[in-house]
Amino acid sequence: MEKELDRNGYVSEEDGNAGSVKIADDVVAMIAGIAATEVDGVSAMAGNISHEFMSKVGVKSLKKGVKVDVIGKSVRVDLALVMDYGYNIPAASQKVQEKVKSAIENMTGLDVLDVNIRIAGINMQKDR
């Protein structure tokens, strides 16, 4: 039996004595942000700093630029990305959609209905 938890997360209640698993929306957003920034051509999530810098200081801000709506056992994801100059935006966006969908489904068991991408900017710096 699954149910929604106050629009702040997803609760999976299993039959048995093991208890329940609660997944906060922020966790799903962080998974999406990390997966998106691992794709070549994605410079950063809009509203935060680059993935390389985040790996040095922590990943708390990777949920910025990510909006998730968990509805039952399904999730909709909206991403705002900053792309590196010179990459094919439609191809990179498709890779982001596939990677985010796969990461969320594999890590949480939720069904991803769609991954919507908004290109919020282009990084023009030569050294990444």
Considering the domain delimited by 25-123, tell me its CATH architecture. Answer: 2-Layer Sandwich (3.30)
**Torsion sign, CA atoms 52, 53, 56, 62:** negative
- pLDDT averaged over 10-residue windows placed end to end, the chain, 128 residues: 54 67 87 94 73 49 79 92 94 97 95 95 77
What residue ranges do the domains of the chain occupy? 25-123
Strand partners, 4: 10
Within 10 angstroms of residue 111's Cβ, the number of other Cβ atoms is: 13
Q: Give the per-residue pLDDT at 62.
A: 58
Q: What is the pTM of this model?
A: 0.77
Q: Give the per-residue pLDDT at 51.
A: 47
Length of the chain: 128
